[in-house]
């Protein structure tokens, strides 16, 4: 299995790159989607959240009230760690299952694990390569205002809540520069996919050599 950790700051264009990689044949696993799945109604994760934080974090229909929970955990570091202690192991377990399923019929398939806060969560272990989709801070601020309708203050708050560019780029093995046109970003994503396939093939070949004892 070859796993690429994909990350990038808000409005950097990570989703564009992830979609392109999936179109080319990569298995795209979205960490945010998994985080929502592990606390769906009826799940053990949601039961654990309610046991820790009380029924006030539930909507009338029994689903998680994310706004109510967010109000609690963002103001209390201990509560936030408790929540992470519930959700992170569940997300990890689910991600491992999804990755295994993704390569069941093709061991060389590239798995792209899409983690918006990979740097902030210090979760850089376990990847064969880490790809950062990068656009400078000012470009991302402009996109948030012009494309998402945020005011300047909200845009800055969102950007500044994440790791800065230097910290994020420091963990990168490969970088996609998404500061230009959409066409440029897609071209880089295509080149990236080809590179990831080559790296995956090399890993498979090395694994095969090791399993048969390697050269004499």
pLDDT category of residue 29 using cuts at 50, 70 and 90: very high
Share of residues in the chain with pLDDT > 70 (%): 96
1-26+109-205 maps to which CATH number?
A: 3.40.50.300
What pLDDT, on a 0 to 100 scale, did the predictor assign at position 78? 94
Stretch 180-184: mean pLDDT: 97
Reply yes or no on whether the pLDDT at 49 is more than 90: yes
* pLDDT tens digits for range 84-100: 899 989 998 999 999 99
Reply yes or no on whether the pLDDT at 216 is more than 50: no
Extents of the domains making up the chain: 1-26+109-205, 36-107
pTM for the model stands at 0.86
Residue with tokens 């769906």: 40
* pLDDT tens digits for range 96-111: 999 999 999 998 999 9
Stretch 32-55: mean pLDDT: 96
């Amino acid at each position: 299995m070859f796993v690429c950790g994909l990350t990038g700051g808000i409005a950097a264009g990570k989703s564009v790159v992830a979609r392109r990689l999936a179109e080319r044949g990569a298995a795209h696993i979205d960490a945010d989607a998994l985080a929502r799945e592990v606390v769906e109604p009826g799940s053990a994760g949601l039961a654990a959240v309610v046991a820790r934080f009380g029924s006030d974090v539930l909507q009338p229909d029994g689903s998680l009230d994310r706004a109510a929970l967010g109000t609690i955990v963002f103001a209390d570091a201990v509560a936030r760690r408790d929540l992470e202690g519930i959700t992170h192991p569940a997300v990890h377990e689910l991600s491992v299952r999804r990755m295994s399923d993704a390569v069941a019929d093709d061991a060389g398939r590239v798995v792209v694990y899409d983690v918006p806060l990979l740097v902030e969560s210090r979760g850089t272990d376990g990847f064969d390569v880490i790809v950062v989709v990068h656009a400078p801070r000012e470009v991302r601020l402009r996109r948030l205002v012009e494309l998402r309708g945020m005011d300047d203050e909200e845009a800055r708050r969102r950007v500044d809540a994440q790791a800065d560019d230097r910290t994020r780029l420091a963990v990168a093995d490969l970088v996609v520069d998404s500061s230009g046109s959409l066409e440029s970003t897609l071209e880089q994503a295509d080149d990236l996919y080809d590179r990831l396939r080559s790296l995956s093939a090399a890993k498979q070949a090395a694994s095969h050599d090791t399993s048969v004892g390697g050269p004499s």
